[in-house]
Structure 1
């Protein structure tokens, strides 16, 4: 559960195409635009792809479509653009799965030093700090994640979990609400928020 909320469990999913089926040629209202020789077809940037996926999360009521969009976002966030960083990330994940947190931190320390603008390096290091209950360092790393990617629902969910663990329930609810604002399909976060809200409503009576 803790790995999931920080985005540590990742699925390699391709971004799904969507939209209406193309019209048959004889029904087309306009001819296809001419493509000049030597030009390449338009391809969206990574940022544009992520924006489109977040729009899907916000708009869809279909559970499977939401999960596909979520997995695609997590996959794109993992792309560092560096073979060395990717290798260090792989090694850190293997160490985390083996509960070798010291080794995982060693790899992740190198990642954030080599590529400080790579949000997922900070996120994974926050995960390890959380697993070792080093909450102050985890919160600090989550702060870096959110500076780089304010929509990081995994980091926001993890921040809520930390605040809940240390009894900061108001701040936990705020973090959970912010996570759900960008990804309303986080069922475990919804459950945690509902439990906290029910507790606070009971105390107010």
Structure 2
């Protein structure tokens, strides 16, 4: 049974939380905020993808060396289909760094690889509570929602994603597919 988490996005961290973010694995909001402003304004798909990769790099590096190393080991284990090893490593990352968004997002991806949608949804929800603009987490969440027949919720997630990352072609296509399906169903 799929448990739908509340699709609530928390506001971005205030500047007073910047020091705490560094210690807990959350990215420094100033640099990330600036990159998101650029991403939202960019109209060139290739340039937007470069900005998105810079944001992803910020998220990856936000936890520090230990968190990044745990993620690298987990990615290697998942690539070798050693999912339980990957989950053990990612469990350590999220316990040590509970605001490290990439720990939660990566753990969700491993759960997805294992076909465990409930746990993946839970981790994606947590990632989005840490970083409401995490377009990777939104993409995963929307994909699960579509796969499980929750088209209305998926549509809302794709809309939110496009508000954050307007040039994300996969989200544009998915949103259009859902709308086209509904329009075709009504004819």
Q: TM-score, normalised by structure 2?
A: 0.82
Which residue number in structure 2 is paired with residue 160 of structure 1?
A: 142
1:122 correspondence with 2:108? no
Gaps in structure 1 of 5+ consecutive residues:
1-44
Which residue number in structure 1 is paired with residue 130 of structure 2?
A: 148
Secondary structure of the corresponding residue to residue 116 of structure 1: coil
| Counterparts in 2 of 1:181 and 1:201: CA distance versus 1, 3 Å | same
Gaps in structure 2 of 5+ consecutive residues:
1-26
Q: Which has the higher helix share?
A: 2
2:55 equivalent among 48, 58, 73: 73
Deviation at 1:81, TM superposition (A): 3.9
Q: Distance in 1 between matches of 2:114 and 2:160?
A: 25
Q: Distance in 1 between matches of 2:48 and 2:66?
A: 31
Which residue number in structure 2 is paired with residue 112 of structure 1?
A: 94
1:203 correspondence with 2:185? yes
After superposing on structure 2, the runs of 4+ consecutive aligned residues of structure 1 that deviate more than 3 Å are none
Q: TM-score, normalised by structure 1?
A: 0.75
Deviation at 1:82, TM superposition (A): 3.1
- Highest CA radius of gyration, 1 or 2? 1
| Counterparts in 2 of 1:70 and 1:125: CA distance versus 1, 3 Å | same
1:184 correspondence with 2:146? no
What RMSD over aligned residues (CA atoms) do the two structures have, in Å? 1.4
Secondary structure of the corresponding residue to residue 132 of structure 2: coil
Q: How many residues align?
A: 161
